[in-house]
Amino acid sequence: MSLIITIDGPGGSGKSDVARLCAESAGGVWINSGQAYRLITWVALKSGWDGTEGDFAMRLPSLLENGLLTWECVSSKVIFLSSLSSPSDKDQTEIESAIGVVATNGSVRSYVNNLLKDLIQKENSKYFFLDGRDMGSVVFPGADLKIFLTASLDVRAERRLRQRSFGESIDDIRKRLEKRDEDDRNRLVGGLVEPEGCWLLVSSDLSLQETVMKILDRIRQEWGPISFRVAGVGR
């Protein structure tokens, strides 16, 4: 039996790092839904998309018809692929500025949601750790464990600065995260909400390792022992 663990939360909450380390530690598979949306944004931009909703809507049918994404599972991580080379770090600012249009498009969200469900069916793993903004609320509402991971705005801004600042100041990042929070919660499609029956996990005062251990301990308490794959993890 496979266990599906969803980790939703706002930007900078650390959900991707937490999901990745949980999967590596427990011998599971990590699926980062945000990578799929970023890659679709990149493919659209490289096709000549001008960044507007109207132009994206016009280009989307041909993009979907040609098959946007495939995937491969490398060790404990799912990597989404397209016919293009993957974007580099220097491309991320352009992607970040355009991804809102892509991520709020209903057809794109349906496409990604179906892709994730298909992936879960075809890959073989005891644990699937999926992070995003609506994994537990929309995509997998029947997940075995639904986590809403969050932290204070200041803590999230500091984490994002260390993670990928693209030359921004801490104030710029804080303002961008605050706006992203508002936009995500007000989305008509795939909005950021705490999934029904979720575990609210506030990590403002927790290290990355402490957060991972809290989740793995919860899994162990409810579903039995975990065969840890990473040295130094577990008790």
Between 136 and 188, the more confident residue is 136
Q: What is the mean pLDDT of residues 75-84?
A: 91
Q: Which of 119-123, 163-167, 177-181, 209-213 has the lowest mean pLDDT?
A: 163-167
Q: Does residue 225 have a pLDDT over 70?
A: yes
Answer for the pair 11, 153: CB distance below 8 angstroms, yes or no.
no
pLDDT tens digits along 121-157: 999 999 999 999 999 999 999 999 999 999 999 999 9
Q: Which of 2-6, 34-38, 180-184, 207-211 has the lowest mean pLDDT?
A: 180-184
Amino acid occupying residue 50: D
Q: 169 phi and psi, to 5 degrees?
A: -85, 165
pLDDT tens digits along 53-71: 999 999 999 888 777 899 9
Of 29, 25, 125, 115, which is closest to residue 75 (Cα–Cα)?
A: 29
Q: What is the pLDDT of residue 21?
A: 96
Amino acid occupying residue 184: D
What confidence category does residue 166 fall into, taking pLDDT thresholds of 50, 70 and 90?
low
**Average confidence score pLDDT of the chain:** 90
